[in-house]
Amino acid sequence: MYNSDTELLFPSRIIPTLRDLRGQAWQELIDQVTSLPENHPGYMAFVLMMVRMGGCVPCNADSFRAMRGCTQCARQTIRRLHNPDADLVAQYGQVQKEVTAYLATVESREAKEKL
């Protein structure tokens, strides 16, 4: 069975639907992320964080999660977390550092290749 809401990895189009699932710190994070362009490191960091938390990499078309769709899976992932919002915001900050560091190495590598 194919669900039109199922994608290869966490679809960024559903970020706004996660806003009201937690408290004020989470809502502010969602507002901040949705105001960023998709190529911004902060935006990419949020998507990566959700991929990791939701287990998107091993998900496949035959899995129960895929049959339910990415929106329901992401919403359930956020609802099931028992961590305080501050922990999630801190986790986002850590992933954002990882993404920024990775992008810096890619840019450095590209600059060296141009020489």
> Looking at the domain assignment, is residue 83 inside a domain?
yes
**pTM reported for the whole predicted model:** 0.87
* Number of domains present in the structure of the chain: 1
> Looking at the domain assignment, is residue 2 inside a domain?
no
Model pLDDT for residues 18-45, shown as the tens digit of each residue:
999 999 999 999 999 999 999 999 999 9
Model pLDDT for residues 49-64, shown as the tens digit of each residue:
999 998 888 887 777 6
> Looking at the domain assignment, is residue 6 inside a domain?
no
Angle between helices 85-114 and 41-54 (to 10 degrees): 120
DSSP category for residue 9: S
> Looking at the domain assignment, is residue 3 inside a domain?
no
> Looking at the domain assignment, is residue 23 inside a domain?
yes
> Looking at the domain assignment, is residue 59 inside a domain?
yes
Which range marks the domain in which residue 91 is found?
Answer: 12-114
**Count of CB atoms within 10 A of residue 82's CB?**
5
Q: Which of 6-10, 55-59, 79-83, 109-113 has the lowest mean pLDDT?
A: 6-10
> Looking at the domain assignment, is residue 1 inside a domain?
no
Model pLDDT for residues 80-108, shown as the tens digit of each residue:
999 999 999 999 999 999 999 999 998 88
> Looking at the domain assignment, is residue 5 inside a domain?
no
